Amino acid sequence: MSRSTWGVVLTGGASPDRLHAEPFLRRAGRTVAADSGLDLAISYGFSPDLVVGDMDSLADLRTLDEFPADRVCRFDHDKDETDTEIALRMLFEEGFSRVALIGGGGGRLDHLMAIIALFDRDVRPSVWLTDEAFVCSLESEVELRGCAGRRVSFFPVGEGPCRMRSTGLQWALDGLLWRRGDVGVSNRITDDRMRVTMESGRLLMVCGADLPAGAVV
């Protein structure tokens, strides 16, 4: 595929400002708005490639009139997938190997838990950005630069135990064996460069949404 391997899903709920979403919007090969994610796209000042969902959460259904029919996929309200799940699945079916999910913060607890549950699946976001958090699915290695003094938390996801190594954290992760239900909340980044390397399993890394530009390597 000649386009970027990154896709972007915009969804309803609390979202970051465009400045923090811009690195992912800029590299996206395709953007999909899930229902009221269209309102988010409009607030960012751009037109998504596709709008999907049952359209029960849009601020104004008349905004759909601006889109050609082949850029809108409407679904019945009674369905087995959420609008966000549909958008995510469609991007993976098109061959996008990494997806940034933008929005989905705050709001109903069940909606929040439904997004968190996505990270346990084979088809899952790579990153998730809300108004308050940057969440990264950590499967091999990640490095944060210029974030000394910030807090960062880790949560095991998926099947199997997690083993990992780290540098630049107040409480090193080396030698730990984590399973679902274990948590590493409010660790602190002590160095200009923080790195976590997975030896087995997967983690969710949760930071504040206001990471400096270029922090994630």
The pLDDT, as a whole number, for residue 2 is 38
The pLDDT, as a whole number, for residue 25 is 93
Domains, the chain? 6-131 (3.40.50.10240), 138-208 (2.60.120.320)
Of the candidates 78, 75, 51, the one whose C-alpha atom is nearest the C-alpha of residue 64 is 51
Sign of the alpha-carbon torsion through 99, 102, 106, 107:
negative
d(CA 166, CA 201): 15
The pLDDT, as a whole number, for residue 194 is 95
Give the pLDDT means over successive 10-residue stretches in the chain (217 positions): 76 93 92 94 94 87 83 85 93 94 92 92 93 94 93 93 96 95 96 96 93 74
